[in-house]
Amino acid sequence: MSRLGASAFALAALAAVLPAAGPAYFLHLLIQILIWASVYTAWALMGRFGFVSFGHGAFVGVGAYVPALLWNYFGLTPWVGIPAGIALAILVAVVIGYPCFRLRVVGHYFALVTLALSQVVLLTLVAAREITGGSLGFTPKAAGHSWYALQFPEKTYFYVIALMLWLLALSVWRWIDGGINREALEAISEDEDAAAAIGIDVLREKLRITVLSAALTALGGAIYGQYMMYLNPESVSGIAVSLQIVFAAIAGGVYSLLGPTVGALLTISLTEGLRVWFGVTFIGAANTIYGALLVLCIIFMPQGIVGTLRRAMAARAPKAAAAD
Protein backbone atom coordinates (compact mmCIF):
# COMPACT_ATOMS: atom_id res chain seq x y z
CA MET A 1 0.00 0.00 0.00
CA SER A 2 2.51 2.58 1.15
CA ARG A 3 4.90 1.51 -1.57
CA LEU A 4 2.18 2.17 -4.08
CA GLY A 5 1.56 5.53 -2.46
CA ALA A 6 5.26 6.31 -2.66
CA SER A 7 5.48 5.38 -6.31
CA ALA A 8 2.40 7.48 -7.06
CA PHE A 9 4.05 10.38 -5.27
CA ALA A 10 7.29 9.86 -7.18
CA LEU A 11 5.36 9.82 -10.41
CA ALA A 12 3.54 13.01 -9.44
CA ALA A 13 6.84 14.68 -8.61
CA LEU A 14 8.27 13.56 -11.92
CA ALA A 15 5.13 14.85 -13.64
CA ALA A 16 5.64 18.25 -12.03
CA VAL A 17 9.06 18.76 -13.61
CA LEU A 18 8.29 17.12 -16.95
CA PRO A 19 6.63 20.02 -18.77
CA ALA A 20 9.73 22.17 -18.44
CA ALA A 21 11.86 19.41 -19.93
CA GLY A 22 10.44 18.96 -23.38
CA PRO A 23 8.98 20.59 -26.45
CA ALA A 24 5.33 21.55 -26.82
CA TYR A 25 4.49 18.35 -28.66
CA PHE A 26 5.76 16.40 -25.69
CA LEU A 27 3.56 18.40 -23.34
CA HIS A 28 0.61 17.84 -25.63
CA LEU A 29 1.13 14.07 -25.41
CA LEU A 30 1.53 14.24 -21.64
CA ILE A 31 -1.77 16.09 -21.23
CA GLN A 32 -3.56 13.51 -23.33
CA ILE A 33 -1.97 10.67 -21.40
CA LEU A 34 -3.07 12.17 -18.08
CA ILE A 35 -6.64 12.76 -19.26
CA TRP A 36 -7.02 9.29 -20.74
CA ALA A 37 -5.29 7.73 -17.74
CA SER A 38 -8.04 9.30 -15.62
CA VAL A 39 -10.75 7.93 -17.90
CA TYR A 40 -9.16 4.45 -17.89
CA THR A 41 -8.87 4.59 -14.10
CA ALA A 42 -12.55 5.55 -13.92
CA TRP A 43 -13.39 2.57 -16.11
CA ALA A 44 -11.29 0.27 -13.93
CA LEU A 45 -13.41 1.23 -10.91
CA MET A 46 -16.06 -1.02 -12.47
CA GLY A 47 -13.90 -3.21 -14.66
CA ARG A 48 -11.90 -4.62 -11.79
CA PHE A 49 -15.08 -6.19 -10.44
CA GLY A 50 -15.86 -7.87 -13.73
CA PHE A 51 -18.46 -5.28 -14.74
CA VAL A 52 -16.95 -4.89 -18.17
CA SER A 53 -18.57 -1.87 -19.80
CA PHE A 54 -18.13 -1.31 -23.49
CA GLY A 55 -20.19 1.85 -23.14
CA HIS A 56 -17.81 4.29 -21.52
CA GLY A 57 -17.31 6.07 -24.80
CA ALA A 58 -20.88 7.30 -24.27
CA PHE A 59 -19.90 8.98 -21.00
CA VAL A 60 -16.84 10.59 -22.54
CA GLY A 61 -19.04 11.90 -25.35
CA VAL A 62 -21.77 13.25 -23.09
CA GLY A 63 -19.18 14.81 -20.77
CA ALA A 64 -17.42 16.50 -23.69
CA TYR A 65 -20.39 17.65 -25.78
CA VAL A 66 -22.76 19.00 -23.10
CA PRO A 67 -20.52 21.83 -21.82
CA ALA A 68 -19.41 22.69 -25.37
CA LEU A 69 -22.99 22.89 -26.66
CA LEU A 70 -24.17 24.90 -23.65
CA TRP A 71 -21.25 27.27 -24.14
CA ASN A 72 -21.83 27.87 -27.83
CA TYR A 73 -25.61 28.15 -27.78
CA PHE A 74 -26.30 29.72 -24.39
CA GLY A 75 -22.95 31.19 -23.40
CA LEU A 76 -23.14 29.09 -20.27
CA THR A 77 -19.79 28.77 -18.54
CA PRO A 78 -18.26 25.27 -18.45
CA TRP A 79 -18.19 25.66 -14.67
CA VAL A 80 -21.92 24.96 -14.94
CA GLY A 81 -21.82 23.05 -18.23
CA ILE A 82 -19.40 20.41 -16.98
CA PRO A 83 -21.53 19.52 -13.93
CA ALA A 84 -24.54 19.44 -16.27
CA GLY A 85 -22.70 16.99 -18.55
CA ILE A 86 -21.76 14.87 -15.55
CA ALA A 87 -25.38 14.91 -14.39
CA LEU A 88 -26.55 13.74 -17.81
CA ALA A 89 -23.90 11.00 -17.84
CA ILE A 90 -25.13 9.85 -14.42
CA LEU A 91 -28.69 9.83 -15.72
CA VAL A 92 -27.65 7.73 -18.72
CA ALA A 93 -25.72 5.38 -16.42
CA VAL A 94 -28.77 4.87 -14.23
CA VAL A 95 -31.17 4.46 -17.15
CA ILE A 96 -28.94 1.74 -18.60
CA GLY A 97 -27.62 0.31 -15.34
CA TYR A 98 -30.85 -0.04 -13.42
CA PRO A 99 -32.62 -2.44 -15.80
CA CYS A 100 -29.36 -4.30 -16.50
CA PHE A 101 -28.66 -4.90 -12.83
CA ARG A 102 -32.31 -5.54 -12.06
CA LEU A 103 -32.58 -8.20 -14.74
CA ARG A 104 -29.12 -9.51 -13.93
CA VAL A 105 -27.63 -8.76 -17.29
CA VAL A 106 -24.02 -9.71 -16.62
CA GLY A 107 -20.88 -10.80 -18.46
CA HIS A 108 -21.09 -10.87 -22.25
CA TYR A 109 -24.66 -9.62 -22.27
CA PHE A 110 -23.73 -6.59 -20.20
CA ALA A 111 -20.84 -5.96 -22.58
CA LEU A 112 -23.24 -6.08 -25.54
CA VAL A 113 -25.84 -3.78 -24.01
CA THR A 114 -23.19 -1.22 -23.11
CA LEU A 115 -21.60 -1.57 -26.54
CA ALA A 116 -24.93 -0.59 -28.03
CA LEU A 117 -25.13 2.38 -25.67
CA SER A 118 -21.87 3.88 -26.87
CA GLN A 119 -22.98 3.55 -30.47
CA VAL A 120 -26.35 5.14 -29.67
CA VAL A 121 -24.63 8.23 -28.33
CA LEU A 122 -22.40 8.41 -31.41
CA LEU A 123 -25.33 8.04 -33.77
CA THR A 124 -27.30 10.66 -31.85
CA LEU A 125 -24.43 13.11 -32.14
CA VAL A 126 -24.15 12.43 -35.85
CA ALA A 127 -27.91 12.59 -36.45
CA ALA A 128 -28.30 15.90 -34.60
CA ARG A 129 -25.89 17.52 -37.05
CA GLU A 130 -27.87 20.77 -37.08
CA ILE A 131 -26.84 21.26 -33.47
CA THR A 132 -23.67 19.19 -33.03
CA GLY A 133 -22.09 19.58 -36.44
CA GLY A 134 -22.44 15.84 -36.98
CA SER A 135 -19.38 13.95 -38.16
CA LEU A 136 -17.74 17.20 -39.21
CA GLY A 137 -17.20 17.88 -35.54
CA PHE A 138 -17.86 20.76 -33.24
CA THR A 139 -15.66 23.65 -32.21
CA PRO A 140 -16.37 25.58 -29.02
CA LYS A 141 -16.33 29.36 -29.52
CA ALA A 142 -12.87 30.55 -28.65
CA ALA A 143 -12.58 33.06 -25.82
CA GLY A 144 -8.82 33.40 -25.61
CA HIS A 145 -7.32 33.00 -22.20
CA SER A 146 -10.36 32.80 -19.92
CA TRP A 147 -11.12 31.17 -16.61
CA TYR A 148 -14.82 31.82 -17.25
CA ALA A 149 -14.71 29.86 -20.51
CA LEU A 150 -12.13 27.43 -19.12
CA GLN A 151 -10.02 27.97 -22.20
CA PHE A 152 -6.26 28.41 -22.10
CA PRO A 153 -4.16 28.58 -25.26
CA GLU A 154 -1.19 28.15 -22.93
CA LYS A 155 -0.69 24.38 -22.57
CA THR A 156 0.75 24.47 -19.06
CA TYR A 157 -2.68 25.42 -17.65
CA PHE A 158 -4.22 22.29 -19.05
CA TYR A 159 -1.23 20.33 -17.93
CA VAL A 160 -1.99 21.32 -14.33
CA ILE A 161 -5.72 20.69 -14.80
CA ALA A 162 -5.05 17.26 -16.31
CA LEU A 163 -2.66 16.46 -13.50
CA MET A 164 -5.31 17.37 -10.94
CA LEU A 165 -7.89 15.29 -12.78
CA TRP A 166 -5.52 12.35 -12.77
CA LEU A 167 -4.79 12.72 -9.05
CA LEU A 168 -8.53 12.91 -8.40
CA ALA A 169 -9.08 9.68 -10.37
CA LEU A 170 -6.29 7.95 -8.45
CA SER A 171 -7.72 9.08 -5.10
CA VAL A 172 -11.18 7.82 -6.03
CA TRP A 173 -9.63 4.49 -7.01
CA ARG A 174 -7.75 4.34 -3.71
CA TRP A 175 -10.83 5.30 -1.76
CA ILE A 176 -12.86 2.48 -3.28
CA ASP A 177 -9.94 0.08 -2.91
CA GLY A 178 -9.58 0.77 0.79
CA GLY A 179 -13.27 0.76 1.72
CA ILE A 180 -15.55 -2.08 2.70
CA ASN A 181 -17.49 -1.39 -0.51
CA ARG A 182 -14.65 -3.01 -2.39
CA GLU A 183 -15.16 -6.23 -0.44
CA ALA A 184 -18.90 -6.05 -1.07
CA LEU A 185 -18.29 -5.57 -4.78
CA GLU A 186 -15.79 -8.46 -4.87
CA ALA A 187 -18.44 -10.60 -3.21
CA ILE A 188 -21.06 -9.44 -5.71
CA SER A 189 -18.77 -10.14 -8.65
CA GLU A 190 -18.28 -13.66 -7.37
CA ASP A 191 -21.81 -14.60 -6.31
CA GLU A 192 -24.73 -12.16 -6.32
CA ASP A 193 -27.08 -14.49 -4.44
CA ALA A 194 -24.64 -15.18 -1.67
CA ALA A 195 -23.90 -11.45 -1.40
CA ALA A 196 -27.61 -10.62 -1.14
CA ALA A 197 -28.05 -13.34 1.47
CA ILE A 198 -25.73 -11.50 3.86
CA GLY A 199 -27.63 -8.25 3.45
CA ILE A 200 -25.80 -6.58 0.57
CA ASP A 201 -28.13 -4.57 -1.65
CA VAL A 202 -26.57 -5.80 -4.87
CA LEU A 203 -28.50 -3.46 -7.15
CA ARG A 204 -27.57 -0.40 -5.11
CA GLU A 205 -23.89 -1.27 -4.83
CA LYS A 206 -23.60 -1.90 -8.56
CA LEU A 207 -25.44 1.29 -9.42
CA ARG A 208 -23.26 3.27 -7.06
CA ILE A 209 -19.98 2.16 -8.58
CA THR A 210 -21.42 2.62 -12.08
CA VAL A 211 -22.53 6.17 -11.34
CA LEU A 212 -19.15 7.01 -9.82
CA SER A 213 -17.33 5.55 -12.81
CA ALA A 214 -19.60 7.31 -15.33
CA ALA A 215 -19.29 10.66 -13.56
CA LEU A 216 -15.51 10.53 -13.47
CA THR A 217 -15.40 9.42 -17.10
CA ALA A 218 -17.64 12.32 -18.11
CA LEU A 219 -15.40 14.74 -16.25
CA GLY A 220 -12.46 13.32 -18.19
CA GLY A 221 -14.39 13.82 -21.43
CA ALA A 222 -15.18 17.41 -20.48
CA ILE A 223 -11.55 18.27 -19.75
CA TYR A 224 -10.52 16.58 -22.98
CA GLY A 225 -13.03 18.66 -24.93
CA GLN A 226 -11.97 21.90 -23.26
CA TYR A 227 -8.36 21.12 -24.02
CA MET A 228 -8.73 19.97 -27.61
CA MET A 229 -11.21 22.75 -28.52
CA TYR A 230 -12.56 20.39 -31.15
CA LEU A 231 -15.01 17.53 -30.69
CA ASN A 232 -15.69 14.78 -33.13
CA PRO A 233 -18.24 12.02 -32.48
CA GLU A 234 -15.72 9.41 -33.61
CA SER A 235 -12.96 10.61 -31.31
CA VAL A 236 -14.96 11.19 -28.11
CA SER A 237 -17.76 8.62 -28.30
CA GLY A 238 -18.78 5.44 -30.01
CA ILE A 239 -17.40 1.94 -30.11
CA ALA A 240 -13.86 2.91 -31.08
CA VAL A 241 -13.41 5.03 -27.96
CA SER A 242 -15.10 2.42 -25.79
CA LEU A 243 -12.84 -0.34 -27.08
CA GLN A 244 -9.79 1.81 -26.61
CA ILE A 245 -10.78 2.37 -22.97
CA VAL A 246 -11.36 -1.32 -22.30
CA PHE A 247 -8.19 -2.51 -24.01
CA ALA A 248 -5.90 0.09 -22.50
CA ALA A 249 -7.21 -0.38 -18.96
CA ILE A 250 -6.97 -4.16 -19.15
CA ALA A 251 -3.53 -4.10 -20.80
CA GLY A 252 -2.22 -1.78 -18.10
CA GLY A 253 -3.90 -3.70 -15.31
CA VAL A 254 -7.24 -3.03 -13.63
CA TYR A 255 -6.24 -4.42 -10.24
CA SER A 256 -3.46 -1.92 -9.62
CA LEU A 257 -3.67 1.78 -8.88
CA LEU A 258 -1.31 2.71 -11.69
CA GLY A 259 -2.34 0.00 -14.12
CA PRO A 260 -4.72 2.15 -16.20
CA THR A 261 -2.14 4.94 -16.23
CA VAL A 262 0.47 2.61 -17.66
CA GLY A 263 -2.20 1.54 -20.16
CA ALA A 264 -2.62 5.16 -21.23
CA LEU A 265 1.11 5.74 -21.41
CA LEU A 266 1.53 2.67 -23.55
CA THR A 267 -1.42 3.06 -25.92
CA ILE A 268 -1.03 6.75 -26.54
CA SER A 269 2.71 6.65 -27.11
CA LEU A 270 2.22 3.55 -29.25
CA THR A 271 -0.49 5.18 -31.33
CA GLU A 272 1.61 8.29 -31.76
CA GLY A 273 4.76 6.29 -32.44
CA LEU A 274 3.09 4.15 -35.10
CA ARG A 275 1.51 7.22 -36.64
CA VAL A 276 4.86 8.93 -36.91
CA TRP A 277 6.56 5.73 -38.11
CA PHE A 278 4.03 4.82 -40.77
CA GLY A 279 2.88 8.32 -41.53
CA VAL A 280 -0.43 9.01 -43.17
CA THR A 281 0.11 6.66 -46.11
CA PHE A 282 -0.40 3.56 -44.04
CA ILE A 283 -2.97 4.48 -41.42
CA GLY A 284 -4.64 1.05 -41.30
CA ALA A 285 -1.42 -0.78 -40.51
CA ALA A 286 -0.80 1.29 -37.40
CA ASN A 287 -4.18 0.38 -36.00
CA THR A 288 -3.67 -3.28 -36.80
CA ILE A 289 -0.31 -3.47 -35.05
CA TYR A 290 -1.73 -1.57 -32.14
CA GLY A 291 -4.65 -4.00 -31.86
CA ALA A 292 -2.47 -7.10 -32.18
CA LEU A 293 -0.10 -5.91 -29.43
CA LEU A 294 -3.04 -5.30 -27.13
CA VAL A 295 -4.51 -8.73 -27.77
CA LEU A 296 -1.13 -10.29 -26.96
CA CYS A 297 -0.98 -8.25 -23.77
CA ILE A 298 -4.39 -9.42 -22.70
CA ILE A 299 -3.67 -13.07 -23.45
CA PHE A 300 -0.24 -13.29 -21.83
CA MET A 301 -0.71 -10.80 -19.02
CA PRO A 302 -4.29 -11.06 -17.75
CA GLN A 303 -3.28 -9.09 -14.67
CA GLY A 304 -2.08 -6.33 -16.95
CA ILE A 305 1.43 -4.98 -17.22
CA VAL A 306 1.54 -3.48 -13.74
CA GLY A 307 -0.01 -6.57 -12.16
CA THR A 308 2.49 -8.85 -13.90
CA LEU A 309 5.46 -6.70 -12.87
CA ARG A 310 4.26 -6.61 -9.29
CA ARG A 311 3.85 -10.36 -9.22
CA ALA A 312 7.33 -10.85 -10.64
CA MET A 313 8.77 -8.52 -8.02
CA ALA A 314 6.87 -10.29 -5.24
CA ALA A 315 8.22 -13.63 -6.46
CA ARG A 316 11.78 -12.31 -6.38
CA ALA A 317 11.52 -10.69 -2.94
CA PRO A 318 11.30 -13.90 -0.81
CA LYS A 319 14.33 -15.35 -2.65
CA ALA A 320 16.33 -12.25 -1.87
CA ALA A 321 15.28 -12.45 1.77
CA ALA A 322 16.28 -16.12 1.93
CA ALA A 323 19.71 -15.33 0.49
CA ASP A 324 20.59 -12.98 3.38
Partner 1 sequence: MLVVEGLSKRFGGFLAVDRISFEVRQGEILGLIGPNGSGKTTTFNLIAGNLRPTAGSIRLDGAEIGGLPAYAICHRGIARTFQIPRPFHKLSLLENVALAAFYGEMKGISRAEAERRARQALDLVGLPSDPSTRTAGLGAAALKKLELARALATRPRLLLADESLGGLDAAEMEQAADLLGSLRSRMGITIIWVEHIMGVLMRIVDRVIVLDHGEKIFEGAPAQAAVDPRVVEVYLGKT
Query: Considering only 91-99, 112-120, 182-190, 206-214, which stretch makes contact with partner 1 by CB under 8 A?
Result: 182-190
Shortest distance in whole angstroms from residue 183 CB to partner 1: 5
Tell me if 314 contacts partner 1 by CB under 8 A: no
Question: What is the nearest approach in angstroms of partner 1 to the Cβ of residue 179?
Answer: 9
Per-residue interface string for the shown chain with partner 1, residues 95-134, x marking contact by CB under 8 A: ----------------------------------------
Residue 180 in contact with partner 1, rule: CB under 8 A: yes
The answer to whether residue 284 forms part of the interface with partner 1 (CB under 8 A) is: no
State in angstroms the smallest separation of the CB of 184 from partner 1: 6
User: Residue 194 or 292: which CB sits closer to partner 1?
Assistant: 194
| Contact with partner 1 (CB under 8 A) among 21, 95, 183, 316 | 183
Residue pair 42/217 in contact by the 8 Å Cβ criterion: yes
From candidates 18, 29, 128, 196, binder to partner 1 by CB under 8 A: 196
Residue 231's φ and ψ, nearest 5 degrees, are -115, 135
Residues 6 or more apart in contact with residue 140 via CB below 8 angstroms: 68, 71, 72, 149, 151, 225, 226, 229, 231
Q: Phi, psi at residue 138, to the nearest 5°?
A: -140, 130
Size of the site for partner 1 (CB under 8 A): 19
Residue type, 210: T
Residue 194 makes contact with partner 1 by CB under 8 A: yes
Q: Please choose, from the candidates 253, 252, 222, 211, the residue with its C-alpha nearest in 3D space to the C-alpha of residue 46.
A: 211
CA atoms of 16 and 284, how far apart (whole Å): 35
Does residue 104 come out as left (phi exceeding 0), alpha (psi in the -120 to 50 range) or beta? left
Q: Tell me the closest approach of the beta carbon of residue 63 to partner 1, in angstroms.
A: 31
CB of 253 to partner 1, least distance (A): 16
Amino acid at 182: R
**Residue 151 φ then ψ, to 5°:** -125, 130
Whole-number Å distance between alpha carbons of 28 and 110: 35
d(CA 38, CA 50): 19
1 near partner 1, judged by CB under 8 A: no
Indicate whether 200 belongs to the interface with partner 1 (CB under 8 A): yes
Residues that bind partner 1 (CB under 8 A): 180, 183-184, 186-187, 189-191, 193-203
